[in-house]
Structure 1
Amino acid sequence: MRILFVCTGNTCRSPMAEGLFRDLARKEGLEAEVRSAGVAAFDGDRISRHSATILEQRGIPADMSSSALTKEHIAWADLILTMTLSHKRAVVQRHPDAIDKTYTLREYVEQGGGSDDALQAQEQLIAEMELKRALGQTIPADDYSKLRDLQRRAPETDIADPFGGSLSTYQAAAQEIEASLRKLIAKLRNQQ
């Protein structure tokens, strides 16, 4: 299994997910390759100081650098796990062929690998609204009302962004990521 974690700049959440997953998978004896990238990353940037600190405190190498998401990443990955719904949208908009293997991390581990009905309806409505906007059409007030309702009913899919925050903010994000990664490892183990 080849897993790609994706966030914005590939300096905070996705490198933490990459490092934490690699370590957890090794400890569990799970065979998996892992990489990370960012939808708005610059190749070669160092990961954030706090992300590096968190990984180093756990004995995980933190000598990673950022990588902009490419079609090569998409082709390489069997599974693409994003940190937020907006990252998922960015991946699928740029690489429509990746739609069947792209999920938010929390969506994948919480909803059994597929979107629930409210999340799917929300994504469909957003796509329709974006198309109307691109065509210069007015978006009816009803659409916004439906979207708010769907957002209230849809499960939480995002991992909070610690960018610019304190070490404790990064630790909270790392805990959120690690909890989902533990579920991911259990799910992958069950699939083997």
Structure 2
Amino acid sequence: MKILFVCTGNTCRSPMAEALLKHKVPGAEVQSAGIFAVNNQRPNDHAVDALQQDGVVLDSTSQPVTGKLLQWADLVLTMTTQHKQSLILEYPDFQEKYYTLKEYVSNNDKKIWNDLKKQYADYEEKRSRFIHHNQGKMGSHELEKQLHDYLQDDWEKIQKLESSLINYDISDPFGGDMEIYWKTLKELKQHINELAKELNGT
């Protein structure tokens, strides 16, 4: 199974998850990427040090999320619900692959997540249809305003569903000291261990 970990900038959480999984499951096909990442940035020094003290090597460099990467992956695991939302809205064709890491290794709230996927698919379809029918008939500012009003109820339903979920976010250590990075590493290890068990069929 080819796995892609996704976070915001791809210098700490998702490459940490990638390194942990490669360490736990040698030979695993895994990459990491960032929604707002640029190519070839070095990983955060604190992230490298925290993993190194745990005997794990982090030597990957950053890369942005692309359609090609999403096509490559069998499974896309995000660090937060917000990252997952961003992928669903920007790359709706691959949304059956999207889970938060915590969600994927947990069996809780599966029905709500399935409902959310359907809501997002309906939202994207209505959005595309509205733009198609109204583009060129009004200015971009007016189109944006009317689109917002048209989709407001749908967006509120999505927000309501999401608020009923437990917190599936991995804490962001960016800007914190080594203690914060250790805390994030501990959190990641717990869920990567569960993922490794699933990949190994145990």
Normalised TM-score (structure 2):
0.78
* CA distance 1:79–1:133, change in 2 (3 Å): farther
Shift of 1:105: 0.4
- Which residue of 2 is the match for residue 136 of structure 1? 148
Q: What amino acid is the match of 2:67?
A: K
Residue 184 of structure 1 aligns with which residue? Answer: 195
1:16-38 CA deviation, whole Å, 9 max, x = no partner?
00001100112xxxx52111000
Task: State the aligned residue count.
Answer: 183
Select the structure of larger CA radius of gyration. Answer: 2
Residue 88 of structure 1 corresponds to: 84
- SS of 2:25's equivalent in the other structure is helix
2:162, 2:64 → 1: CA distance? 29
The 8 Å contact of residues 48 and 58 in structure 2, kept in 1 or not, is answered as yes
1:125–1:91 CA distance, 2 compared to 1 (3 A): closer
Structure 1 CA distance for aligned equivalents of residues 81 and 186 of structure 2: 19
Shift in Å at residue 134 of structure 1?
6.4
Question: The residue matched to 1:42 in structure 2 has which SS?
Answer: coil
Structural RMSD (CA): 2.8
Corresponding residue for 2:72? 76
CA distance in 1, matches of 2:34, 2:70: 12
Counterpart among 112, 118, 126 of residue 112 in structure 2: 118
93-102 vs 48-57, which deviates more?
A: 93-102
TM-fit CA distance, 1:62? 2.3
Q: Equivalent residue for 1:158?
A: 169
List alignment gaps of at least 5 residues for structure 1: none
Within-5 A mapping of 1:57-68: 57-68=53-64
Identity %: 37
Q: In the superposition, relative to structure 1, how do residues 165 and 107 fare at CA in structure 2: closer, same or farther (>3 Å)?
A: same
Q: Against the structure 1 CA distance between its residues 58 and 127, is the aligned structure 2 distance closer, same or farther, given a 3 Å change threshold?
A: farther
Structure 1 residues 99 and 24: alpha-carbon distance in aligned structure 2, compared to 1, 3 A threshold = same
Which amino acid is the alignment partner of residue 4 of structure 1? L
Matched letter for residue 16 of structure 1: M
Deviations 1:14-68 (A, max 9, x none): 0100001100112xxxx52111000010111111111011121122222221111
Structure-2 residue corresponding to 1:100: 96
Q: 1:21 to 1:74 in 2, by over 3 A?
A: same
What are the within-5 Å matches in structure 2 for residues 51-62 of structure 1? 51-62=47-58
2: distance between equivalents of 1:134 and 1:104? 32
Residue 127 to residue 134, structure 1, CA distance change in 2 (3 Å) = farther
List aligned pairs for 1:40-59, cutoff 5 A. Answer: 40-59=36-55
Task: Say whether the 8 Å CA contact 1:119–1:155 is kept in structure 2.
Answer: no
Q: Provide the rounded CA distance (Å) in 2 between the counterparts of 1:12 and 1:134.
A: 39
Partner residue, 1:10: 10
Which residue does 2:133 correspond to in 1? none
- Tell me: CA distance 1:52–1:134, structure 2 relative to 1, closer, same or farther (3 Å): farther
